[in-house]
């Protein structure tokens, strides 16, 4: 049993167990939420360092060609076009390929060797899931992590790369979901299509044609931001729904113009209001707060998939917008818990070898996190990333041997 002071004066105990062969497991007990209350940790204002666009789930371009521009929807029917829309391949493993290629491209254009370096590189959704865990304890997740140290003459700096792995329950849901569940998923995608256009200052014809436009869920625009939670520096990739107005030329001004688009059932009862405040607003806040998106536009719909009203939420005001929310979840608990977990990951994932993978899990009985290191080959970094190269295509050969 090891003791380590992680943050806020809390001394955390975690256990390491030697299993068969070279397999080793660490256990991290999850405390009551109360222990993570108190002073909120410093979280640096995120800054966009680059962006990229992906098309057809296969190709990546290091620009903003897939960025959409917000214009309030004039149509309300969300089911239109469902039969013919282009679906996202939920089962395709994209790993961190797009994000790492974008960072390699950025570094090739920059004279600052530290611009693309951080303690952890990952997707926004992974940090968001960790943040929400104290209040979403029945939601399992599985991540894979590996450490690859980029040696620089001035100062060696190690980076941990973390990607998500689809859980068995998620795979089962996606495989067996009903037609109505698929339709409800489409409603969110259709709302994004109805509320955006492909260029700023559109003409009347483009605005009117949004309802007839085919929804293509296989394309996306992503920002890449750099920030810091406590002592852990982070680089995160995150899909962005749209921007208001023209994209600013100064990187420090970009994030303040992005908008997150959401849909939710119209609230008609106190129970629905409670569930919305407890679950959806928590996720809305975590996702947007992490990357500095200041506003969320939510389309409230009926059970037939028709938008009945729009409401704008200011991200930083969500935790205090209603007295009842503070009794359901607290932002300092989310941030402090995430800080503890990230520090623990940095303590455990020490081996500098991109062919060694650590599996991070949160699952039943919901009392502890586990990290398991296996020698079995499960590398997910591409060889081209190690070699400092990029590709316009997702996929490619994974790293096969220890680097350096």
Per-residue pLDDT at 361: 97
Entry pTM: 0.93
Answer whether 26's CB lies under 8 Å from 348's CB: yes
Phi and psi angles of residue 358, each rounded to the nearest 5 degrees, phi first? -105, 130
Torsion of CA 160, 165, 170, 171, to 10 degrees: 170
Closest CA to 57 of 380, 398, 394, 382: 394
- Angle among Cα 347, 17, 169 to the nearest 5 degrees reads 85
Find, among 385, 379, 372, 314, the residue nearest to 150 by Cα. Answer: 385
Relative to beta strand 157-165, strand 120-123 is: parallel
- What sign results for the dihedral spanned by CA atoms 92, 95, 99, 103? negative
User: What span, in angstroms and rounded, lies between the C-alpha atoms of 354 and 382?
Assistant: 9
CB 211 within 8 A of CB 77: yes
Cα–Cα distance, 1 to 176 (Å, whole number): 42
Alpha carbons 104 and 25: distance in angstroms, whole number = 32
Strand 357-362, strand 141-150: pairing: antiparallel
Are residues 162 and 143 in contact, defined by beta-carbon separation less than 8 angstroms? yes
Cα separation, 104 vs 119, whole angstroms: 16
pLDDT tens track, the chain, 404 positions: 454 555 544 445 566 666 666 788 999 999 889 999 988 889 999 999 999 999 886 789 999 999 999 999 999 999 999 999 999 888 877 799 999 999 999 999 999 989 999 999 999 999 999 999 999 999 999 999 999 986 544 444 689 999 999 999 999 999 999 999 999 999 999 999 999 999 998 999 999 999 999 999 999 999 999 999 999 999 999 999 999 999 999 988 999 999 999 999 999 999 999 999 999 999 999 999 999 999 999 999 999 999 999 999 999 999 999 888 888 999 999 999 999 999 999 999 999 999 999 999 999 999 999 999 976 668 999 999 999 999 988 888 999 865 45
């Amino acid at each position: 049993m090891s003791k380590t002071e992680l943050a806020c004066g809390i001394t955390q105990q975690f256990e390491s167990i030697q299993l068969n062969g070279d397999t080793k497991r660490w256990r991290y007990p999850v405390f009551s939420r109360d222990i993570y209350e108190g002073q909120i940790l410093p979280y640096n204002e995120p800054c966009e360092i680059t962006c990229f666009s992906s098309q057809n789930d296969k190709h990546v371009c290091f620009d903003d060609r897939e960025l959409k521009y917000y214009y309030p929807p004039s149509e309300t029917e969300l089911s239109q076009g469902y039969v013919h829309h282009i679906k996202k391949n939920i089962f395709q493993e994209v790993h961190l390929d797009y994000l790492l290629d974008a960072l390699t491209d950025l570094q090739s254009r920059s004279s600052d060797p530290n611009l693309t370096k951080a303690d952890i590189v990952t997707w926004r959704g992974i940090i968001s899931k960790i943040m929400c865990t104290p209040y979403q304890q029945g939601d399992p997740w599985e991540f894979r992590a590996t450490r690859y140290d980029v040696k620089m003459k001035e100062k060696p700096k190690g980076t941990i790369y973390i990607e998500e792995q689809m859980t068995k329950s998620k795979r089962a849901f996606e495989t067996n979901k009903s037609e109505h569940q698929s339709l409800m998923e489409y409603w969110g995608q259709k709302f994004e299509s109805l509320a955006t256009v492909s260029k700023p200052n559109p003409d009347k014809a483009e605005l009117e044609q949004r309802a007839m436009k085919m929804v293509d869920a296989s394309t996306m625009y992503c920002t890449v931001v750099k920030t810091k939670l406590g002592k852990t520096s982070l680089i995160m990739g995150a899909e962005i729904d749209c921007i208001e107005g023209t994209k600013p030329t100064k990187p420090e001004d970009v994030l303040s113009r992005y908008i997150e688009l959401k849909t939710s059932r119209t609230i008609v009862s106190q129970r629905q209001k409670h569930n919305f405040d407890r679950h959806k607003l928590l996720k809305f806040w975590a996702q947007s707060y992490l990357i500095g998106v200041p506003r969320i536009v939510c389309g409230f719909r009926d059970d037939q998939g028709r938008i009945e009203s729009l409401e704008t939420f200011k991200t930083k005001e969500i935790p205090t917008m209603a007295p009842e929310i503070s009794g359901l979840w607290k932002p300092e608990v989310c941030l402090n818990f995430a800080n503890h977990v990230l520090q623990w990951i940095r303590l455990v994932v020490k081996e500098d070898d991109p062919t060694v993978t650590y599996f991070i899990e949160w699952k039943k009985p919901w009392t502890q996190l586990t990290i398991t290191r296996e020698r079995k080959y499960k590398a997910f970094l591409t060889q081209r990333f190690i070699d400092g190269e990029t590709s316009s295509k997702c996929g490619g050969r994974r790293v096969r041997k220890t680097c350096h």
